[in-house]
Amino acid sequence: MHKVRKATESDFPSILSLIREFAAFQGTPGKVTITPEQMLRDRDIFQCMVAESDEGHIVGIATYFFAYYSWSGRAVYLDDLYVQPGSRKQGIGKKLLEAVIGLAKQEHCRKVRWQVSRWNSAAINFYKSMGAVIDDVEMNCDFEIMPV
């Protein structure tokens, strides 16, 4: 049975390892630039739920942050949801997503929003099974700001 809990600072190295695994799964390993030191500096905004195995190993993560949308109000943005391949098909992703949704409800948010890659049909089907509405109209925009 896996336990889902809010991450602590001591979890940051393990979380970063899973973030790197997820980036590799997405085919973009070079895009991860975050460091444990940066996560520590940003601990007031960096939020994460972790799924722990019975042995205490972190096998899944859900990173998120609070957002405000001008059309609907307070929300949670789910940045990454990832479960290691050897731990999939055990309900861990569902527990992580339910934990983030539960937090959003507790904080009186109007919605939880996230992205899913068009090619990831397993994730799309999972999200739809959880009741998510997937919008295929909007496109993402990023403006990268490099540190000085």
Q: Report the catalytic residues.
A: 127
Residues 80/62, Cβ–Cβ less than 8 Å: yes
Residues 78/62, Cβ–Cβ less than 8 Å: yes
Q: How far apart are CA 125 and CA 134, in angstroms?
A: 10
Q: Which two three-digit tokens encode residue 97?
A: 């997503």
Q: Which two three-digit tokens encode residue 44?
A: 């007031």
Q: How far apart are CA 96 and CA 84, in angstroms?
A: 13
Positive or negative torsion for Cα 2, 8, 11, 12: positive
Residue with tokens 């527990």: 95
End-to-end CA distance of the chain: 45
- Give 111's strand partners: 75
